[in-house]
């Protein structure tokens, strides 16, 4: 990496950290309407920062939802264009009493920054902003053309950015996209993400009698929707972790030998880490599938909540008329959530005990993504990581979903580089979210180096 760039980033560590802290102090919680003004403040913070870096075109795009921040700097027709996407909104901070320090008063110990949004995603966006600034300040200009798109609704469904990409896709024309919103395997074994699972989120509603009944007068003959729902759920996924929905395992994700080899090598360490993080004594799921496979490419079916009957204090002998379960499936890239919804509906009708009516509702869904590891942009990212970390990254999958990735893939038709600097114990979305300072600074070096490698 160029010495001048590297030196600039070292000299400005303090300044970059201070700037991140000021951004983290803004409680830009996109799902809570009382924070609407804060969300806008966080957008304006980013707008101002992009102007300071020197972007000649910076725009706050306001619509019905939270604003988008868009900036572009087109320096040279002969160079490729990189589209960087990130988000400046954060998850709600509750339960507040589980935080050791207040979520919007960033706290630094020697290794980490603790604050809501530290790793997801302000800290990671700041890495890219700092790398861009380093190029401008130390080399006089950006090495390639850069477009920046920041949204404030990632944690709230992302309607505005989706509409923008669908409607103004031509403004976003680029050769590749960069997203820094994922995590690495570990500091010693950096990784790049080449696959994200899709999601299908549903509600299953079971109805029995026309009204709640007394268990003394009707117990023994009355249908009980809660019990029927439990039977149904256990038929959809048994104790062995296998999902019994015909068709669900049809699409399989190709996994390279190199990746399988890493899964094998890392299996024991990963299992140990997961047991510790979750505070449990054994993992569940399909025993014949590797842990990496279970987390990355196999479909999942999880129950998030069950509602029905009496849950107040004391005893009430009611047989409820209705029960509801929130059920989501994570799906490998290649599975179409709309298709899977039909398969689920069919399986539910087949497996439902007799004497009930059941309805399945699709609340939302998003496609998974598989990125080919064979393109110059991912190669450039892998080389930059190898240069800064001294170890070549492994290609991995992440079990979560970043809906914008599928949109970039399907609408803009450009390769997406998922180069994240979070660590698995950062606790994104949970209390005491943190970001490693070491990753913060190494990330800047890596992204700055990456930008230089994109030049023709
Ligand atoms: Zn995020």
Confidence (pLDDT) at 364:
86
CA–CA–CA angle 394, 290, 379 (5° rounding): 15
In-domain check, residue 228: yes
CB-based contacts of 303-307 (< 8 A; 24+ apart in sequence): 303/233, 303/327, 304/328, 306/226, 306/229
Section 242-251 average pLDDT = 91
Cα 409 to middle of ligand 1, angstroms: 18
CATH number of the domain that 235 lies in?
Answer: 3.30.70.360
The answer as to whether 222 is a domain residue is yes
337 within some domain: yes
d(CA 85, CA 149): 5
Are residues 136 and 65 located together in one domain of the fold?
A: yes
Q: Does the residue 124 lie in any domain? A: yes
Sole residue written with tokens 């990671």 = 124
Q: Report the number of distinct structural domains present in the chain.
A: 2
**Distance in Å, CA 144 to ligand 1 centroid:** 25
Say if 428 falls within a structural domain.
yes
Q: What is the mean pLDDT of residues 117-142?
A: 97
Token pair, residue 371, equals 């990125």
Q: 15 C-alpha to center of ligand 1: Å? A: 24
Residue 76 located in a structural domain: yes
pLDDT in tens, 144-158: 999 999 999 988 878
- Residue 179 and residue 248 in one domain: no
Contacts of 179 (CB under 8 A, 6+ apart): 84, 85, 86, 402, 404, 405, 416, 417, 418, 419, 420
Per the CB < 8 A criterion, the answer to whether 329 and 251 are in contact is no
d(CA 332, CA 339): 13
Residues 42-79: tens digit of each pLDDT = 999 999 999 999 999 999 999 889 999 999 999 999 99
Mean pLDDT, the chain, whole residue set: 94
Question: If you measure from the C-alpha of residue 3 to the centroid of ligand 1, how many angstroms do you get, rounded to a whole number?
Answer: 32
Last residue of a domain, one of 366, 398, 423: 366
159 shares a domain with 39: yes
Same domain, 95 and 122: yes
281 in a structural domain? no
Decide which of 340, 366, 392 is a domain's last residue. Answer: 366
**249 and 123 in one domain?**
no
Residues 305 and 375 in one domain: no
CATH number where 105 lies: 3.40.630.10
Residues 147 and 187 both lie in one domain: yes
Distance 124 CA to ligand 1 centre (A): 9
Q: What tokens appear for 188 in the block?
A: 């010693």
Contact at 8 Å (CB) between 133 and 5? Answer: no
Distance CA 417, CA 440 (A): 18
Confidence category of residue 277, pLDDT binned at 50, 70, 90: confident
Same domain, 105 and 209: no
Task: Report whether pLDDT(159) > 90.
Answer: no
Same domain, residue pair 401 and 421: yes
What dihedral angle (degrees, nearest 10) is formed by the CA atoms of 305, 310, 314, 316?
Answer: -150
Say how many Å lie between the CA of residue 179 and the centre of ligand 1. Answer: 10
Cα–Cα nearest to 71, from 80, 63, 60: 60
- The predicted pLDDT at position 229 comes to 98
202: Cβ contacts below 8 Å, ≥ 6 apart? 326, 327, 328, 329, 341, 344, 360, 361, 362, 363
Instruction: Indicate whether 327 and 192 sit together in one domain.
Output: no
Confidence class of residue 266 from pLDDT cuts 50, 70 and 90?
A: very high
Is 11 found in the same domain as 106? Answer: yes
How far from the centroid of its chain's Cα atoms is residue 225's Cα? Answer: 34
The residues, ordered by sequence, that sit 6+ positions from 312 with a Cβ below 8 Å of its Cβ are none
Q: What integer pLDDT is reported at residue 425 of this predicted model?
A: 87
Strands 198-207, 322-331: pairing is antiparallel
Q: Would residue 287 count as lying in a domain?
A: no
> Could you tell me which residues come within 8 angstroms of residue 160 by beta carbon, excluding any fewer than 6 positions away?
63, 64, 65, 66, 67, 68, 151, 152, 153
CA 195 – ligand 1 centroid, Å: 16
Task: Find the 180 Cα to ligand 1 centroid distance in Å.
Answer: 9
Q: Which domain holds residue 62?
A: 3-196+369-453
Residues 215 and 158 in one domain: no
Among candidate residues 317, 333, 366, the one where a domain is terminated: 366
For residues 288-309, average pLDDT: 94
């Amino acid at each position: 990496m160029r010495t001048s760039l590297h030196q600039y980033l070292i000299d400005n560590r303090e300044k970059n950290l201070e700037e991140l802290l000021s951004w983290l102090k803004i409680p830009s919680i996109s799902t809570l309407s009382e924070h609407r003004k804060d969300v806008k403040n966080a957008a304006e913070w980013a707008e101002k920062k992009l102007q300071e870096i020197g972007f000649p075109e910076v725009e706050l795009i306001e619509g019905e939802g939270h604003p988008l921040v868009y900036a572009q700097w087109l320096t040279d027709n002969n160079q490729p264009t990189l589209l960087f996407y990130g988000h400046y909104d954060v998850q709600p901070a509750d339960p507040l009493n589980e935080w050791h320090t207040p979520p919007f008063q960033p706290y630094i110990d020697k290794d980490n920054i603790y604050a809501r949004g530290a790793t997801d995603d302000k800290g990671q966006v700041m890495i890219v902003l700092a790398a861009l600034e380093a190029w401008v300040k130390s080399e006089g200009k950006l090495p390639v053309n850069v477009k920046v798109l920041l949204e404030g609704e990632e944690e709230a469904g992302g309607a505005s950015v989706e509409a923008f990409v669908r409607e103004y896709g031509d403004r976003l024309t680029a050769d590749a996209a960069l997203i820094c919103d994922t995590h690495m395997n570990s500091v010693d074994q950096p990784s790049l993400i080449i696959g994200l699972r899709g999601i299908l989120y549903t509600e299953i509603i079971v109805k029995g009698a026309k009204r709640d009944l007394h268990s003394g007068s009707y117990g023994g003959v009355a249908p009980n929707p809660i019990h029927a729902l439990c039977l149904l759920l256990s038929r959809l996924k048994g104790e062995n972790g296998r999902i019994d929905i015909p068709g669900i395992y049809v699409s399989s994700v190709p996994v390279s030998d190199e990746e399988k080899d890493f899964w094998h090598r890392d299996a024991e360490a990963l299992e140990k880490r997961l047991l510790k993080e979750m505070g449990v004594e054994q993992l569940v799921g399909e025993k014949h599938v590797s842990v990496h496979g279970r987390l990355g490419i196999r479909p999942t079916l999880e129950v998030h909540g069950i509602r029905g009957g009496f849950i107040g204090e004391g005893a009430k002998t009611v047989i409820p008329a209705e029960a509801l379960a929130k059920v989501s499936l994570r799906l490998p890239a290649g599975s179409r959530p709309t298709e899977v919804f039909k398969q689920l509906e069919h399986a539910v009708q087949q497996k439902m005990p007799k004497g009930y009516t059941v309805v399945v509702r699709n609340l939302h869904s998003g496609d998974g993504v598989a990125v080919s590891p064979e393109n110059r942009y991912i190669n450039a990212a892998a080389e930059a990581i190898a240069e800064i970390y001294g170890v070549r990254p492994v290609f991995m999958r992440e079990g979560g979903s970043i809906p914008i990735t599928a949109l970039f893939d399907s609408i803009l038709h450009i390769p997406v580089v998922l180069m994240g600097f979070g660590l698995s114990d950062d606790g994104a979305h949970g209390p005491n979210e943190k970001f490693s300072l070491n990753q913060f600074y190494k990330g800047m070096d890596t992204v700055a180096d990456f930008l230089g490698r994109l030049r023709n």
